[in-house]
Structure 1
Amino acid sequence: MNELQQSIALRQEGKAEEAIVLLKKITNQEPTHAQAWYQLAWAHDNLGLERDAVPYYEKAIQLGLDKEDQAGAILGLGSTYRTLGEYTQAEKWLAQGIQLFPERREFEVFYAMVLYNLGKHTEAMQRLLIQLADTSNDSNIVDYQKAIRYYADQLDRVWE
């Protein structure tokens, strides 16, 4: 097992502090190792050190990641910005994630959260209702899927 794999295993085992030590060693030795920067960000997030995670996410994205890790890093960065109250940055990154990965529904859900934070409650609710209608296996939701989708963008309409 190489050092990167070891650091991932440590993070997954809840030993984020140990993972960080190893990941800093890797990034010092290989400053263009995008995956190590991404894992370093993730380990900081695991410890609730969101502000510290931001530059690591940004560095990993800048260096280039494979598609799966790029999606994870963009989602992580957008979500982290949201938890820090930096809603404009969060909106920017999550919108980029939706554009790059339209098939990844988690971006829509996190984007809805930041829309809520920005006071865009109607759009946030609309996006969440569509995700609920599209993804739920609950038989009662499925029965009303068409109605939920129909009303999703008419939340303020009053029928007389």
Structure 2
Amino acid sequence: MEKNLHTAIALRKAGEYEKSRELLEGLINSTELKARALLNIAWSWDNQGAEDKAEIYYQAALEAGLEGEDQFDALFGLACTYRCLGKYTLAKAHFVEILTAWPDATEIIPFYALCLHNLGENDKAMSVMLELVARHPPTENIKRYQKALHFYARNLTGA
């Protein structure tokens, strides 16, 4: 079954979202793989821009008991999804939760700042970003999101 999970992840990364989800749906009944399968289904919907569908799967994955990096990834995905859906207060609460639990997760900060901007907390958003740059010159964690950050830099109010 673990092989099916890896195959489904490879399909998702290759843009074969429906095929990936079909395999992942078959893993939901596996106690040991359920949470990770749900997380990867969420990512699949997210990759397709279907945040409304991704939201449900992120929540289910967290309820199924993710731990460590998978829990971080699901919380981060859910916070970003809430922001994209215009649920800024929920997004902010999740970003704060993540930053409290993972204070070194610098990749969260730009998305948290976007959320603050969406809430009209522009001074705080700018402060958060300046602190990031001052304390953490660009790292690989932030570079991973470079494409998205460039998009949002030009579209501050966009989802």
Per the alignment, residue 49 of structure 2 pairs with 48
Per the alignment, residue 70 of structure 2 pairs with 69
Query: Identity across aligned pairs (percent)?
Result: 37
What is the CA RMSD across the aligned residues, in angstroms? 1.5
Runs of 4+ in 1 over 6 A off after TM superposition: none
TM-score by length of 2: 0.81
**Total equivalences in the alignment:** 136
Per the alignment, residue 145 of structure 1 pairs with none
Report the AA paired with residue 25 of structure 1: G
- 1:69-98: per-residue Cα shift (whole Å, max 9, x none)? 111111100001100111011111111111
Q: How does 1:8-47 map onto structure 2 within 5 Å?
A: 8-27=9-28, 29-30=29-30, 33-47=34-48
Q: How does 1:68-107 map onto structure 2 within 5 Å?
A: 68-107=69-108
- How far is 1:31 from its partner? 6.4
TM-score by length of 1: 0.80
- How far is 1:136 from its partner? 2.1
Residues in 2 aligned to 1:90 and 1:116: alpha-carbon distance in whole angstroms? 12
Structure 1: 5+ residue stretches without partners? 138-160
- How far is 1:107 from its partner? 1.8
Q: How does 1:120-139 map onto structure 2 within 5 Å?
A: 120-136=121-137
Name which one, 1 or 2, has greater alpha-carbon Rg: 1
Report the AA paired with residue 25 of structure 2: K
Q: Once structures 1 and 2 are overlaid, which stretch shifts more, 59-68 or 110-119?
A: 59-68
Q: Secondary structure at the match of 1:2?
A: helix
Per the alignment, residue 142 of structure 1 pairs with none
